[in-house]
Amino acid sequence: MEYRLALAVFGQRKENQPFMIIGDRLKTLREAKNLSQGDIEERTGLRCCYTSRVENGHTVPSVETLEKYARALEIPMYHLMFDGNDPPVPPKLTKSGSKDVWEDSRAGVRLMKKIIRLLSKMEQSDRKLILFLAGRVTKKRA
């Protein structure tokens, strides 16, 4: 019997299934070590397309597969679960019955990742301008 490891980001999808963070961590760690998916394939024997599916959250890797990724990246396996030496502090949960909580949706998570990535490429003055404009837009709607 093969056991699969699914980790949640303290939120739920619409189907009440947990979000995957393993794929995001795998991609971040792989890119930090300047490795391609092809390099991972050579080190683990796992196909590039499989690694892509794991990184994009389409496939849940088994514990054995996580061990292969950890060996290929030359890191302890727990680094695939969370960053640092201590587990992350869980965020405050929203009311379970609330509607339109986009932060808990897969689309909301993707949007926030995209925003963070784009903001990190900007100059500080541009980030301040965007924050100012966002504040103005929210005041108009309130």
User: Would you list the domain boundaries of the chain?
Assistant: 1-85, 105-142
pLDDT in tens, 93-119: 655 555 556 666 777 778 888 888 888
Judge whether 71 and 90 are in contact, CB under 8 Å. Answer: no
Question: What token pair was written down for 124?
Answer: 């500080």
Positions of E strands within the chain:
none
Distance CA 118, CA 11 (A): 24
Q: Domain 1-85 carries which CATH code?
A: 1.10.260.40
- What is the pTM assigned to this prediction? 0.51
pLDDT in tens, 29-77: 999 999 999 999 999 999 999 999 998 888 889 999 999 999 999 988 8
Question: What token pair was written down for 45?
Answer: 């024997």
Judge whether 59 and 50 are in contact, CB under 8 Å. Answer: yes
For residue 4, list its beta bridge partners: 62
CA end-to-end span of the chain: 54
